[in-house]
Amino acid sequence: MYLFRRLKNMKLFIRGISFLIITAFFGECLEFVINMILARELGEHGMGIYMSILPSIFLIAIIASLELPVSLSKFIAEKEVVYHRNILSQVWKLTIVFTCIFLLAATALYSVFPFLAEYHPGVRWLTLLLIPIISFSSIARGYFMGVHHMGKIAAANFLRKIAQLILLVIVYQLFSFEVNIAIIIALCTFIASEGVVFLYFMQAYVLSVRSFKKTSSKPADKTEVGRALLSVSFPTTVLRIFHAVTHAIQPFLIKAALLHAGMTEISATEHFGVLAGIALTIGFFPAFIAHSLLIALIPIVSEKVSKNDIKGIHSILRQVVWITLGYGTPAVLVFYFWGEELTNIFFHSTSASYYLKLLWPYFFFHFFVMPLQAFMIGFGLIKDALYHTIWATVVSFSLIYFLGSLPQFGMAGVLIGMNTGAVLLTLLHYNTVCSRLGLTFWFKSAVRM
């Protein structure tokens, strides 16, 4: 009986991850094309500005989502189906209240503080549209993740990319803009693509919820629901906010270091544009597999932890490590030995190949970070993940600024700092997961949790 359940769960995991990986692959191909269009239309300087704005927009999206996809999927996976209807009803009420509060707070802050004021005035107010779109989409996303409907998650992720690509092609083909307006147009297409995903999720969610009327339902304790969601949402949101804030700061930190090393402001912006818009785009292309693993693992690991299925968790961890090694190793070898050919083929830029080659540890170890974080969320070790991220970021940023400010290092110093942070974060996550499972570094000496 136990073996049958393990095979069933494994089949569920493989099916879910397969949907996500296949659609994510095509989505990343579209992302490549999107960045090629943006690089051509915006130029290196405009691409640098666009990439500097995006982290701030991602920060707003993270706060608006309250990390409901993570907390709700974990809670739904741990609870029986009869409680789902009541849980979702309570989540909608909480989300509406938080969304209204956040909209009012964001409007007040925009009126008082010069957030994103150095860019076009429309940028700040465009971001307000994201708040309700992201907030309500997060409920449907979290529910579908929790009930293992990964096909809908995969379809939504692909739909976002194809919508953004179509809008970019149509607008840039029909009209010609100066750089500042072209950046605004690029941001508008990004937000519009989120709107398309919102509409898709809402219709899929309504159709799924209708089935609840045919089944029995039990009330869930309001206090338990609120506590369970916030116990995951709050630390996870703090983690994501910290991650987003550091990514929003990183462009300015890198440019400040390069200016201190003797570069001009325009040159520093162009270097960051090449790094973020080209080298990181190519290097993180295989990360769609890691992200797919993250989405699929959270509800599965959470369910197994609630049932104390230690052997099942051991088995999944081994498979995840081998999967990551299986695609990560050849990927970074390609980046290192054929980096110049890749950057020339897709972006006609030889300078980006230097960054791509030296950042192979940054990419390789980040492929492990995402699935390991899913295990930590499943175990309820989100605070540990936050502490690990803080330590790794402090070390990384310190090296980026110190080495990047030295004329003899410059961008090489920036890359060394980025690599060091990725390696440290991965090792901290891996050590914590193995310790929680009672395993050594090589999966030996298992003990009870």
Q: What is the pLDDT of residue 389?
A: 92
Type and span of the H or E element at 381? none
The pTM of the full predicted model, rounded to 2 decimals, is 0.76
Indicate whether 394 pLDDT > 90: yes
- In 3D, which of 150, 437, 429, 435 has the Cα closest to residue 309? 437
The answer to whether 446 and 439 are in contact (CB under 8 A) is: yes
Indicate whether 173 pLDDT > 50: yes
Q: Which two tokens stand for residue 119?
A: 């860019």
Q: How many CA atoms lie within 13 A of 397 on its CB side?
A: 17
Q: Which two tokens stand for residue 220?
A: 């869930």
The answer to whether 190 and 166 are in contact (CB under 8 A) is: no
Q: What is the pLDDT of residue 428?
A: 94
Query: Cα–Cα distance between 165 and 188 in angstroms, integer?
Result: 12
Query: Cα–Cα distance between 86 and 90 in angstroms, integer?
Result: 6
Contacts of 184 (CB under 8 A, 6+ apart): 120, 122, 123, 126
Indicate whether 1 pLDDT > 50: no
Q: Phi/psi at 114 (nearest 5 deg)? A: -80, 55
Q: Which two tokens stand for residue 429?
A: 């996550």
Percent of the chain with pLDDT over 90: 17
The answer to whether 437 and 317 are in contact (CB under 8 A) is: yes
State the chain's mean pLDDT as an integer. 82
Q: Region 111-124: what's the mean pLDDT? A: 69
Percent of the chain with pLDDT over 70: 89
- In 3D, which of 238, 291, 220 has the Cα closest to residue 66? 238
Indicate whether 446 pLDDT > 70: no
Q: Which two tokens stand for residue 107?
A: 């409007």
Query: 347: pLDDT confidence band, cut at 50, 70 and 90?
Result: low
Q: What is the pLDDT of residue 325?
A: 93
Q: Region 148-153: what's the mean pLDDT? A: 82
Q: What is the pLDDT of residue 448?
A: 46
Residue with the larger pLDDT of the pair 31 and 167: 167
Q: Region 214-231: what's the mean pLDDT? A: 69
User: Alpha carbon of 271 to those of 84, 268, 430: distances in Å?
Assistant: 50, 5, 33
Q: What is the pLDDT of residue 81?
A: 73
Indicate whether 440 pLDDT > 70: yes
Q: What is the pLDDT of residue 348?
A: 65
Q: Which two tokens stand for residue 408?
A: 């003899």
Q: Region 248-258: what's the mean pLDDT? A: 86
User: Alpha carbon of 85 to those of 79, 98, 200, 228: distances in Å?
Assistant: 11, 20, 20, 16
The answer to whether 248 and 55 are in contact (CB under 8 A) is: yes
Indicate whether 245 pLDDT > 60: yes
Q: Helices 265-274 & 351-358, crossing angle to 10 degrees?
A: 60
Type and span of the H or E element at 140? helix 121-146
Q: Which two tokens stand for residue 66?
A: 């309250």
Q: What is the pLDDT of residue 90?
A: 84
Max mean pLDDT range (219-223, 257-261, 354-358, 369-373)? 369-373
Indicate whether 46 pLDDT > 50: yes
Q: What is the pLDDT of residue 267?
A: 81
Q: Three-state DSSP class for 64?
A: helix
Query: Cα–Cα distance between 274 and 434 in angstroms, integer?
Result: 37
